Structure 1
Amino acid sequence: MNQLKHYTLEEVSEGVFAAIAKNSGGACSNSGIIDLGDQTIIFDTSFTIQAAQELRQIAEQVTKSPITYVINSHWHGDHIRGNMVFKDCSIIASQKTKMKIDETHPSLLKEHKESIHQYKDHVTNLRKNRELEEDKEEIESLTDSILQMEEIISTLPEVEYISPSHTFNEGMTIKGSQLTAQLISVGQGHTEDDSILFIPERGVLFTGDILVKNTHPYMLDGNVFEWLESLKKISEYPCSHWIPGHGKVGKIGDLTTLVNYMTEMIQLSKQNTDVPLIDIPEPYSSWKGRQTFYSNIEVIRTQLK
């Protein structure tokens, strides 16, 4: 396989692949490829057309069976905008997720297309900041951000809104000739409704953004207390590998870390301290998305009320 631009591919178990988004690419979130034997499933379709195209090419190279089902774990754009590359397949989401996609994305996509000049200005500012920066790690981070924004901008005018074609309520099972895929709604957490995909024969769980690794989770569209309940649900699955929505392939310890993070966040939110003055606890100080930590404090304070 040629060098991939948007993903790092890892076969976590026979026939089950994690497509881990590169920081400099246009994927912006992780995806999955599952070869059931007589058919192939894609889990989440990334943020850009070119990343979704690469995902499809990967799937066609590493599996010998046609792509039949494509799953949207939740409604956020970095997990569903690649749907247009798979519009000849059956795109599946929970009923609540499809309703949210249909409610938000036509206008949101239109707004983003009309704001493309602002994204270009942002790239210009990132380049200026990189020229002034002396720290090597920060220069690398700014370079990744520039490359990622350029990927998003390059095909944004061409993105089509493609809604899921099939829905389910609590769950559904897809049986292949070799493997089984169990699609389950875990309810509210990261968003109003989040879905996971479990491959029981391989002990692999694709979690979407219910689980993220070494990344501050985005809480604005969810509920931290319901999210903790969702994490409790998925901890009961007998898994050897967990594929998070963001970050590298994880294990049960990463779920425990996220539970600890949210528990500490709730306690910090109860303190009578101005948000900018709250220190990020040491275990999480190096996580990606530092600013998200502070917005999460604000979200939890609102939910506590």
Structure 2
Amino acid sequence: MVLKRFLSTIIYLILFVTLIWIIVCFFGINKVDNNDREAIISAIVALFVFGAGLLAQMFGNKISQYKKDLQLKKIFIVNLRTILEGLKLQTENYLEVIKTLKSHYPENVMLSSYAELDYLEINNFASEDLFRVFIDYLKGDEKSKIATLENVRKQLRFIENSRDMITSGFEKLYDAIHIHSNNVLDGISDLGKFFDEEATRLFHTNADINSDNWFKGFAELWGKTTSSLKISDETFTDYEKLGSEIIPKFFEFAKDNMEDPRTPLISAAVSKANIAIYQRKDTIRNLIKFVDFHLAKYNDAKSTIEKTILAYDK
């Protein structure tokens, strides 16, 4: 930097001396005969030196600007490559999420599949200052390049701004899945409590449980349910089986025992579990759509950045 300033000072000094020389030479031409070749030659030489000095200064500035632009371009490309790598990793993560979701839906939806999913974020964004400087550098005849860069900037801003939305969206979807799961568990739990209470009541009234057709039918159905579904405090092993096989049997049982005063309580609990299962399916569908949407956006951004790198990395 010091050397550059020193050379610039020398060049300006030479230009100043040369300019004085030109003035003196032409002044001398006016004072002597037109045949004074020495003064004429000196004036011509001075003009050449002055012109050479100007060219040297301009050339030096051009070289300096070229080096600056080249350095800026390299920084820009490095940033774009970093972003591209982040996007590639991100899209791979999203593809894995979709693969996980679709592998468990609709055949075997389990809460544990979602509990293991991380909230996904993208890091390594090119700074706004870098875009501003680079776009300023490209102003003028580089309108198409500016448009391309603006497109990249918009894509990246979308990704950056969508991070909070993605995190918030996943949190809401996870919460919804937990709520639906709890509703299913609550419904089945209600059935279990009702079964225990009914058995206790019959026992205390010395009623013959085996002679109570309603109780016998419900006990048989409940026994099949608990044996085929390992009910725990957290989740079921198979929601699909619950929704497609067992709950319809509960409804069929209720239909055949409509006059029994205990049947509406059973129907209400089963309905609660059944509705929750379908809500859960809708939530999972929405989650897949949500991930698909952002995956498409990230792929668009990847494509734009790859094209930009090809355009500038020459």
TM class, shorter-length: under 0.3
Higher CA-based Rg: 2
Higher strand share: 1
Higher relative contact order (CA 8 A, sep 6+): 2
TM-score normalised by the chain length of structure 2: 0.22
TM-score normalised by the chain length of structure 1: 0.22
